[in-house]
A and B are shown apart, each in its own frame.
Chain A
Amino acid sequence: MTEVMINASGVTRNFSISRGMFRGKQLLRAVNGVDLTVTRGEVLALVGESGCGKTTLAKILLGLLPQTTGSVSLCGTPIDTVPRLALARMIQPIFQDPYSSLNPRKSIGSIIGLPMRVQGENDQQLIDRRVEETMDLVGLPPRLLNAFPNQLSGGQRQRVAIARALVNRPQIVVCDEPTSALDVSVQSQILNLLNDLRQELNLTYIIISHNLAVVEHIASRVAVMYLGRIVEQADTASLFQNPQHPYTRALLDSVLTPDPHLGLPNTQLGASYPNPIDPPSGCAFHPRCVNAMPHCAARAPSGQAHKAAYVECHLYDGTETAKAG
C-alpha cells in the first residue's frame, strides 16, 4: 500500500566557490544532511527561502547533480545505479519559467515527442499519436502541434512542459515553482491540472514552492528547509494548524492571505537570510529566531519527532528544560 518512491538519507551536496585566483576555494553546503521518504501518491512540498537548497535537492533527485555524500534511492534502487534512460522514465521535472523551459527552435510536437525519441522510439506514427494523446490530457488543442513556443501564452507553455514531462508516464514529477511565473487566473488552471493528473495517472509529486497558499492547497506533506537542512517536516494540515519550528511559524505568518480585515504581519525575522558560504554556528536559524536561547548558537539541534511533526529545534529536544532544571 505505502510503496516508497523516494528514499534519501544523509544527502549532502557541496559546491566549491572560487574566490579568485590566489585565494583558494570555499565550501558551500547547499544541501546538508537531508533525510526524506516519499511514498506513492504523496505530494511533498519543499518550502523555504531562496538559497535554502530546495532546488539543489530537486536536481539531485532528478539525477542532474550527483550528491556529495549520502544515498538516494528511487523505487528501491539506488539512484547512482539506475541507467540514465531508466531514470528518465521514472522521474521528470517541470520548471518554473515556461519561457526558458522550451527550446524556442523546436515545434511543440517535437518538444513533447523528444522524451519518446530519446527512449529509442522510432515509429513516428506512434510518437504522433502519443503526443496528441498527451496534449489532450493537459488541455492543449491539437492544432498547436506545429506551433513554436513563442506563439503560445505562458499558460499554454506550461502545459507543454507538463506534457513533455508526462509523455513517457513517469511515476514521480518534480515541479519547481510550477505556477509562480504565471498570472493568477492561469495559475489556478495549472494547479487544477496538476491535481487532476496526479489522480488520473497515480503520480507522486515533489513541489518546490515559496507560495505557502499554493502548498497548502496541493501538498499532502511539507518539508521546510533552511540553509540546506530540513528543519520541520509534517503533513500539511498539522503543519499549517500547528507549526512547531519558529522558522515555520515565521514563514506561515508572512503568508499574505487576501483578507482586507487583517493588517500586515510582523514576522520578527530581523536579520536577513544568512550567507550560505558562512553559515551561523550552532542552529543556523538562531540569529533570526525569536525563541533563541544561549546554547542555540553553540550546538546544532538534533531532529526528533514532536507531536505529528519531525522538528530540528532546541525547543523540543529537552535541552531547554535540562538547562532550566
Chain B
Amino acid sequence: MASSSKSEPVKIAAPLWGRSLRHQGVVIGALIVAMVVLIALCAPLIAPHDPYYQDLLARLKPPVWDDRGSWDHILGTDHLGRDYLSRLIYGARISLLIGIGAALISGLIGTIMGVMAGYFGGRVDMVVTFLITVRLSMPVVLVALAVVAIVGGSLQVVIMVLGLLLWDRFAVVMRSSTLQIRSMDYVAAAQAVGCSTTRVLMTEIMPNVVNNLIVIATLEMAHAIILEAALSFLGLGVQPPLPSWGLMVSEGKDMMLFEPWLITIPGVALFLLVLSINLLGDGVRDITAPENRN
C-alpha cells in the first residue's frame, strides 16, 4: 500500500513573495503604500519646512513647475504661506492614522459579530443581522457629522466615529464567509476530534476567512480616508491647523479657479493612496488564496 503512493510527486508551492512579485496590482499598490508609509514615518526628516510655519509674505506661491514657482517651496505655499509639500508630507500621517485606526476598530467589531453570527446561527445570527440592518439604514456621513458637531472634532473623535460606523461590511462579509467555511467537512472533523468552539473558530475558521478580512480591511481603510477627507472638507473632521489632506482641499477650494494646484495636489495624493490600498488588498486576496499555492 505504501508503495502505491511513492511515485506520486509533491508539487512544491511557489514562495509567497515570488507569487506577489508576479502580481502587478500588488507590486504597484505595495510600492505606493510603502512610499506613503515611509514618508509618514520620516516626515520630520524629509519635510523641507515646518508645516505649521506661516509666512504671510510668501502666500499662495505656485509649485516649481509654474513660471512663478521656486525651488524653495517645491509644491508652493497655501493661503497662509505654509509650505505645501511639508503639509502634504505631514498630512500622510493623518490619513494613514485615520485609515488604520478606523479599520482596526471597525474590523474588530465587525469580525466578532460576523463570525459569531455565521458560526452559531440561530438567535445570534438574528440579532447580528438586525444590527447590520439598523447600521445600514443610517447615513454614515450625516451621523458622523452630527456626532462630530456635538462632541467636537478632533483626530481621536474622527477615528472613533468612523471606527464605530464602518463595521457593517466586515460583519456582512465575515458572516457569509464563516457560513461557507462552517459547512466544510474539516470543521466537522475538528469538532469530532474534540476541539473546543474557541479552537475551531481560531484554527479552522479564522485562517480561512482572513483573506476576505484583509480585502475588506483595505477597502474600509480607503473608505475611512475618503470619509475623513469629506468630513474635514465640511469642517467637521480634523481641525485646523492639522495638515489633513481633506482639510487642505477644503482650504484650497476658495481659490480653486485661480490656484488649482491647491486642491489638485492633495486630491491626487488622496486618489493615489486610496487606489494603491485597494490594489494591494485585491492582490493580497488573489495570492494568498490556497488554490493559488501551486
Contacts and interface: CB of A to CB of B under 8 A. Distances in A.
* A touching B, CB within 8 angstroms: yes
Interface of A: 59, 62-64, 84-85, 87-89, 91-93, 95-97, 100-106, 114-115, 118-119, 136, 138-141, 143-144, 147-153, 155-156, 159, 161, 164, 168, 189, 192-193, 196
B188 A193 contact: no
Query: Which 6 pairs between the two chains have the least Cβ-Cβ distance?
Result: A88-B194, A104-B290, A101-B185, A139-B1, A115-B193, A95-B185
Interface string B178-202: 0000001110111111111001000
Chain B contact patch, size range: 20 to 34
B294 interface: yes
A87 B194 CA distance: 8
A143 B7 CA distance: 12
A139 B293 contact: no
B290 A148 contact: yes
| Majority DSSP secondary structure for residues of B touching A | helix
Contacts of B189: 93, 95, 101, 161, 164
Given A97-B185, A103-B184, A148-B13, 10 more contacts: A64-B191, A87-B194, A100-B185, A101-B186, A114-B203, A115-B193, A115-B194, A118-B199, A143-B10, A151-B13
A24 to B, nearest CB: 16
Nearest to A98: B185
B67 interface: no
A206 B203 CA distance: 28
Contacts of B203: 103, 106, 114
Contacts of A168: 193
Contacts of A192: 1
A156 B193 contact: no
B68 interface: no
B207 A150 contact: no
B186 A102 contact: yes
Contacts of B185: 95-97, 100-101
A156 B192 contact: no
B6 interface: yes
Interface in B148-202: 184-186, 188-196, 199
Interface in B266-294: 290-291, 293-294
Contact of A141 (B2, B191, B291): B2
B8 interface: yes
A140 B5 contact: yes
Contacts of B195: 114, 118
A150 B291 contact: yes
A59, A89, A100, A140 interface centre (most CB from chain B within 10 Å): A100
A79 to B, nearest CB: 13
B223 to A, nearest CB: 28
Interface string B1-23: 11011101011110000000000
A149 to B, nearest CB: 8
B193 A105 contact: no
B5 A93 contact: no
A64 B186 contact: no
A93 B294 CA distance: 29
Contacts, number: 102
Nearest to A94: B189
A159 B8 CA distance: 13
A318 to B, nearest CB: 43
Interface string B55-72: 000000000000000000
B193 A151 contact: no
A118 B293 contact: no
B92 to A, nearest CB: 34
A100 B184 contact: yes
Contacts of A114: 190, 193, 195, 203
A103 B185 CA distance: 9
29 contacts: A59-B188, A87-B194, A88-B193, A91-B192, A93-B188, A97-B185, A101-B185, A103-B203, A103-B207, A103-B208, A105-B207, A114-B193, A114-B203, A115-B193, A139-B1, A140-B2, A141-B5, A144-B10, A147-B10, A148-B290, A148-B293, A150-B290, A151-B12, A153-B8, A155-B5, A159-B5, A161-B189, A189-B1, A196-B1
A136 B204 contact: no
A289 to B, nearest CB: 35
A118 B2 contact: no
B293 A150 contact: yes
A159 B194 CA distance: 20
Contacts of B196: 84
Given A104-B290, A140-B5, A151-B11, A88 B192 contact: yes
Contacts of A143: 10
Contact of B2 (A97, A105, A106, A136): A136
A102 B196 CA distance: 18
A95 B192 CA distance: 11
B9 to A, nearest CB: 9
Contact of A95 (B1, B188, B194, B293): B188
A173 to B, nearest CB: 11
A189 B4 contact: yes
Contacts of B13: 148, 151
A192 B4 CA distance: 12
